[in-house]
Amino acid sequence: MLRWVRQQLGFDPPHQSDTRTIYIANRFPQHGHYVPQKFADNRIISSKYTVWNFVPKNLFEQFRRVANFYFLIIFLVQLMIDTPTSPITSGLPLFFVITVTAIKQGYEDWLRHKADNEVNGAPVYVVRSGGLVKTRSKNIRVGDIVRVAKDETFPVDLVLLSSDRVDGSCHVTTASLDGETNLKTHVAVPETAVLQSVANLDKLVAVIECQQPEADLYRFVGRITISQQTEEIVRPLGPESLLLRGARLKNTKEIFGVAVYTGMETKMALNYKSKSQKRSAVEKSMNSFLIIYLIILLFEAILSTILKYAWQAEEKWDEPWYNGKTEHERNSSKILRFISDFLAFLVLYNFIIPISLYVTVEMQKFLGSFFIGWDLDLYHEETNQRAQVNTSDLNEELGQVEYVFTDKTGTLTENEMQFRECSINGIKYQEVNGKLTPEGFSEDSPDGNRHSLMKEEELFLKAVCLCHTVQINADQTDGADGPWHANGIAAPLEYYASSPDEKALVEAASRVGVVFTGTSGDSMEIKSLGKPERYKLLHVLEFDPNRRRMSVIVESPSGEKLLFTKGAESSILPRSKSGEIDKTRIHVDEFALKGLRTLCVAYRRFTPEEYQEVGKRLHEARTALQQREERLADVFNFIERDLELLGATGVEDKLQEKVQETIEALRLAGIKVWVLTGDKHETAVSVSLSCGHFHRTMNILELVQHKSDSTCAEQLRQLAKRIKEDHVIQHGLVVDGTSLSLALREHEKLFMDVCKNCSAVLCCRMAPLQKAKVVRLLKTSPEKPITLAIGDGANDVSMIQEAHVGIGIMGKEGRQAVRNSDYAIARFKFLSKLLFVHGHFYYIRIATLVQYFFYKNVCFITPQFLYQFFCLFSQQTLYDSVYLTLYNICFTSLPVLIYSLFEQHVHPHVLQSKPVLYRDISKNAHLGFKPFLYWTILGFFHAFVFFYGSYLLMGEDTSLLGNGQMFGNWTFGTLVFTVMVITVTMKMALETHFWTWINHFVTWGSIVFYFIFSLFYGGIIWPFLHTQDMYFVFVQLLSSGSAWFAIILIVVACLFLDVVKKVLYRHLQPTSTEKAQMYSNRVALSDEFIALQPLSRARNQLSKIRWKKIRVQSAQHVTLLKAGTEGRTIGNC
């Protein structure tokens, strides 16, 4: 029974075997002793709380914070012993803080639940009871037969049973899983491939045995046993049979598959890193400061307790005539009395720990996060998407980033290839209006307006149309002449390719006159200038990274045997014996300098004898049981020689807008950029060069294709040596997934040393969990840098969750990255505004907020400590209990909150145009020990001036009231409190650079509110209060001219040194930020407050402001204005 309860609670999971047995359509054996295995349901869970665990789990997380736990202890002490202040003074703020934080975190988790429900509630079709049943994704069970239609995403991990094709094949794209946009072919076993109808599938009796779930996307081991009449047929299952959740069906009308892994056991979910609570560096600094202040508090409490007993050593002070002890007090234990007094002093001074700091920080983060969504500069008009905040706890971390880890496909690029140029027979061509035009010729020139192709051009385009693995949309291959619209005009063919380059090339060829129209059996059909031709496909020599080329052998309509080859120039040019080799090499270099992806194209004619020898060798190699791969490589090298060069192509992988500028800005800001991609080595390097991640002047180092520890270590040592020798130039490092695994296994330190000395690092062929490992490696290095990961696919989720800050791109690869990120933006270019403006502002605001809170609480409680020297350490309070409670909640809370929401110490445009300013706040510069020490000493200095200034000016003269009445201790305490409220509020005003009407309202309004409240509170006898200590005290204090003089003098004395320090430092030792402030003042771009409005209204108002500015500015200022409005933000006004 106990074991069952533990299993249900998840503490003792049931024993699992190494394999799982799945009965298709859940047709379990009929014999009685069979016990079905338990499998996970198909729900995806990214949320942190449930209805049942929210309260205990949230309370546990909140009380892990030092201040919250401390105030809980203080509150309990106040309940248990007689203390100078009421338990309400600690309990009420604590309850307020806990409640506000719980509401905020509950709301954020509710958004995650909402996103999960959207995914789990998606409609799917399953085969049940002989028919198709529509249900929700979360209801799919292991063993269900699921139908997926074209362009739909697979809702579970499926073993393919059949498709609409006779051979049982289908094509899928796994872009959202591994970043690869190429089509992958999956096949069903022959016995189930023929079952293409629901009725036939419903009769299927089969069992699948496979491995338990694992994270490796490319590994699957299983077998299917099919019962047919009296015999059982066993077929192996591998990765080619498994369709992964998150992948998308392409070029196939529909498929049927059986669910083998569901929910959080799918490979996609296993590649998610488990969600953990991220904590910002600022919060860690806050906890460190709290511990220091706890030590100060304990020191003051212990010192006060010791001094009390030292004072009471004299009998006249131990029991004065006016305060006799009871019999119980005389007989009580001295140790217990000492502990009781120590706790009483602890309660008296406990306000040095600012509990309201946490609630103010929570409110600042929560409200401040809306400004990111409201920022029109982060709004993408084409897709109608604005920035999204999933976690507001990390706002200030955006201002501390030192490393950016970015995906490539869909993050840096648009994932769209475009044909740009080609070189044919030594002549460069460009595509102009669907025609190949030689360089230097326009369409209007005599040779530029040709309707026919030269022989070399036609052969080159035929090679491009035949040497590929492109497929055509199944819907478009029905007619022999291709698809046609109703009006008789040919519809453009929809191509699917294993490589985006191939697709771009085939599409370009079709535009200029040579169209690939599809395959029919073993034939490839093309149209050359409208004339159909059929080539018989004899052999395909597949691409591999060692050869870096692919080839096809075809038979032309005339019966000639031809080899067409395309590949990297380094693998084609050395094998070419004829053609314009030198000119083509120059053109390839020119294409590469433009950032284009280059391929060379060549061909070879076979004599009948040569082809017979080729066919024989290929057959022997492909049927070999031993060393098949090595034999095939030898044969391929034998075939792909003595080539005749046809030309080269230049294809552009279209980068997202302003990617190059963004990466350069990140580099100027001192941020290192690493690109982590699942793409091929050549593709990744090409994109890195074109986007500016790698510079042409960089020395590119490679750590690729290593199979053993020894070779990897040797290469690392050589790279380290080269970096040391060539320390003047910049280095870029390229590393692939297998080499990375070896490097991290035994040589982690050496690998990190090489990486840190490189300006840019590119990791290719990375599995999703490898990306997370690389991020963790940097995170846990001795320097502990702040990391940011950005990506758009499910393959980036682990990396996004591992980094300190995770950003999802709202791209074409699903919403998994966005759902699991901390922030989401529509384009990579928005990252610069997010970091340099929002991150900078959030960090400056919260750094000032945190240190100001400690400062004002030191100002608040130090006079209380000093007052004990004047009252024999009797634990008498200097302030009234209402003032104690309201000081942090009402009197001083709003100015700093509004400052932390709206402060702009430098204009946003200046911050974005000068990324170097980001360096000023890096490495937690404004929350280090020196700034903390400055604010703490300043707090103690001001506290001493408050107390002793009031004492010297007013304390000795006790008859200053007009009616001759003497000042009392409450009047003195109220004077100190009044001076303190005005000074700390004015100190906040001195720190404010950006004034709005709200700042004015809360700053001066707080002081006015304090005076009005004090007059109201002290002017009425409140029946529910035990004592009326403050009755008429404030009125009498303000009726004294000397009191007004003392208040003004003390406030000026406190703030005068601050003003002098600021002026001297700004003029003698200005920081780059202060110089930028002076620059932004000279620019004099006016700001109008547009915050806290709906996006549509804000947009309209912003356009009005821009129009108004353009109208009033003179012509020579228009350029400056345009630059200024680009940095415009709603949220930061």
Residue 365 CA, chain-centre distance (Å), reads 17
Q: Name the burial class of residue 770, with classes exposed (0-12), middle (13-18) and buried (19+) by CB atoms within 10 angstroms of its CB.
A: buried
Name the 3-class secondary structure at 885.
Answer: helix
Contacts of residue 399, defined as CB under 8 A and 6 or more positions apart, other chains included, come to 835, 839, 840, 841, 842, 843, 844, 918, 921
Identify the CA nearest to 1133 among candidates 1098, 1083, 1103. 1098
What radius of gyration, in Å, describes the C-alpha atoms of the chain?
37
The answer to whether 894 touches 977, Cβ cutoff 8 Å, is no
Identify the CA nearest to 232 among candidates 202, 191, 201. 191
DSSP of 1066-1093: HHHS--HHHHHHHHHHHHT-------SS
Contacts of residue 336, defined as CB under 8 A and 6 or more positions apart, other chains included, come to none
The answer to whether 365 touches 395, Cβ cutoff 8 Å, is yes
What is the spatial distance between Cα 886 and Cα 1038, in angstroms, rounded to a whole number?
Answer: 21
Contacts of residue 1009, defined as CB under 8 A and 6 or more positions apart, other chains included, come to 890, 891
What is the spatial distance between Cα 199 and Cα 207, in angstroms, rounded to a whole number?
Answer: 18
String of b and e for 781-810 (b: at least 16 CB within 10 Å)? eeeebbbbbbbbbbbbbbbbbbbbbbbbbb
Specify the residue for token string 């799917």: 124
What totals of helices (H) and strands (E) does the chain contain, helices first?
A: 40, 35
Terminal CA-CA length for the chain: 62
Q: Name the burial class of residue 644, with classes exposed (0-12), middle (13-18) and buried (19+) by CB atoms within 10 angstroms of its CB.
A: middle
Identify the CA nearest to 212 among candidates 34, 39, 32, 420. 39
DSSP of 668-694: HTT-EEEEE-SS-HHHHHHHHHHTTSS
Active-site residue 41, yes or no? Answer: no
Identify the CA nearest to 716 among candidates 693, 739, 690. 739
Question: What token pair was written down for 621?
Answer: 């190699």
What is the spatial distance between Cα 478 and Cα 493, in angstroms, rounded to a whole number?
Answer: 12
- Residue 562 pairs in a beta bridge with 554, 605
- Annotated catalytic residue: which of 407, 501, 736, 796? 407
DSSP of 916-927: GGGGGGGGGGGG
DSSP of 202-271: HT--EEEEEEPP-S-TT---EEEEEEETTEEEEEEE-GGGEEPTT-EEES-SEEEEEEEE-GGGSHHHHT
Identify the CA nearest to 813 among candidates 358, 129, 176. 176
Question: What token pair was written down for 1085?
Answer: 């771009």
Name the 3-class secondary structure at 186.
Answer: strand
What is the spatial distance between Cα 405 and Cα 763, in angstroms, rounded to a whole number?
Answer: 10
Give φ, ψ of 65 to 5 degrees.
-75, 135
Question: What token pair was written down for 704?
Answer: 């690729």
What is the spatial distance between Cα 657 and Cα 653, in angstroms, rounded to a whole number?
Answer: 12
Question: What token pair was written down for 56?
Answer: 């205990």
Identify the CA nearest to 82 among candidates 468, 340, 300. 340
What is the spatial distance between Cα 137 and Cα 19, in angstroms, rounded to a whole number?
Answer: 25
Contacts of residue 82, defined as CB under 8 A and 6 or more positions apart, other chains included, come to 340, 344
The answer to whether 515 touches 461, Cβ cutoff 8 Å, is no
Q: Which residues are catalytic?
A: 407
